Amino acid sequence: MTTLTNETQRERPVTNQRGDAALLPRIALVTPVYNSAKYIEQTIVSVLGQNYPNLDYFIVDGGSTDGTVDIIRKYESQISGWISEPDGGMYDAINKGFARTSGEVLGWISATDQYHVGGLSVVAGVFRDLPQVEWITGRPTEFSEEGMTIKILDIPRWSRRRYLAGANRYIQQESTFWRRSLWDRAGGCVDASRRMSSDMELWVRFFRYAKIYPVDALIGGFRVHRDSLALSNWHEFTQIGDEIIDTEVRGSQNYKMVKFLTLINRTIKRIPKVRVAWQRLVLSNLYKVLYRLPGPDLPPIIEYQSGTGKWGFR
C-alpha cells in the first residue's frame, strides 16, 4: 500500500496563558487510528477545539479504507502532520507519532476518545507551575457512544507498591500526560509486541522513576462503545495485565509482601472452583483497602488555587 503523508512541522507560537513571563509548554499529542471514520472526526475536533497555542499534534493512520483518511485530510492544515501506512498496531503507531513530534509534554488520544473543554490548558498549567511533577492524570471520565459525558469518577491516587499489589491498575490513559524526560528514561517507546494493555506496561516502567500525581480536574475521557478492543476482550485484557505486573514484581527488589500476595493470587487462580470466590470475596475487598488506605507513599493531589491563579498541592 502506498504511504500517504503530510508531515509539515509547523512551529506554533508560544504564548502566555497569563500576563506574566510563564510560557506554556509544547504538548506533543498523537492519535493512532485505523478504520475509525465513525468517531475520528469527534476526536480531532475535541483536540483542535482546545485552541491550545503550542500544540504538536500528529495523526498516524494504519492504512484505513473506510473514509478515515478523507476526514484527516479535512484538518491537515490545522495539525502538525499525518501519515497513512500499514503498521504493527496501535502501539506501533503511537511510537511512530512520538518520533515525529518535538513537544516536551507527551500524551496520546485514541481515535474514539475525546478531551474535555480546557483539558490541555489544565495539563499545560500543571507542568508549567510544578516543575518537579513528571507524570499526571485527571479525574477518570466516560463518554457515551454518542459522545456525551456520562460518568465522572473520584480523584484517583496511586503509588508503585500499591499498583503492583493490584490496587486499581487501570490508569485512564486519555487523562494521562508526562514529560518527555520521563519517557526517555523509561525507554522512549510503548511496547508494540502486543495488541492491548501496553499502556499498563508503560505505567509500570514509569513507576520505576516517578510518581503519578492526581489532578482534580477534567482532562480526557474514554468512549464506551461496542467496538472497544479492551471491553470486548476483557478476559484477555486482564490476563495480559496480570502477566505484566507479575513480571515486574518478580524482577523487583524488596516488596516481599507484594510478591507473596502475587504468588498466592497466581496459585489460587489456577483452581477453577475457588478462583471466582477468591476474586469476589477476598481480592476485591483487599484492593479497595489498599487503594484507599492513607499513607505517606501517596503523592498529594494537584488542584487549581484560585487565590494565586496557579496549580498547587492540596
Tens of pLDDT, residue by residue, the chain (314 residues): 446 767 655 444 444 444 343 489 999 999 999 999 999 999 999 999 999 999 999 999 999 999 999 999 999 999 999 999 999 999 999 999 999 999 999 999 999 999 999 999 999 999 999 999 999 999 999 999 999 999 999 998 999 988 888 777 889 999 999 999 999 999 999 999 987 789 999 999 999 999 999 999 999 999 997 776 666 666 677 778 888 988 888 878 777 667 667 777 677 777 877 777 766 776 677 777 877 888 999 999 999 999 999 999 99
Q: Say how many C-beta atoms besides its own lie within 10 A of residue 301's C-beta.
A: 14
Count other C-beta atoms under 10 Å from residue 180's C-beta: 19
What are the beta bridge partners of residue 105?
Answer: 27, 179
Q: Domains of the chain by range and CATH?
A: 4-313 (3.90.550.10)
Q: Look at residue 21 in the predicted model and tell me its pLDDT.
A: 35
**Tens digit of each residue's pLDDT (9 = 90 or more) over 246-262:** 888 887 877 766 766 77
The reported pLDDT for the residue numbered 44 is: 98
For residue 159, the model assigns a pLDDT of 92
- Find the angle CA(217)-CA(228)-CA(171) to the nearest 5 degrees: 35
Residue type at 223? R
Kindly report the length of the chain: 314
Residue in the block written with cell 489460587: 268
Selection from 125, 226, 223 nearest residue 177 by Cα:
125
Q: Three-state DSSP class for 214?
A: strand
Task: Give the tens place of pLDDT for each residue, 259-301.
Answer: 667 777 677 777 877 777 766 776 677 777 877 888 999 999 9
User: In the prediction, which pLDDT does 97 show?
Assistant: 98
**Cβ atoms of 23 and 17 closer than 8 Å:** no
Q: Which DSSP string corresponds to 258-297? A: HHHHHHHHHHHTT-HHHHHHIIIIIIHHHHHHHHH---TT
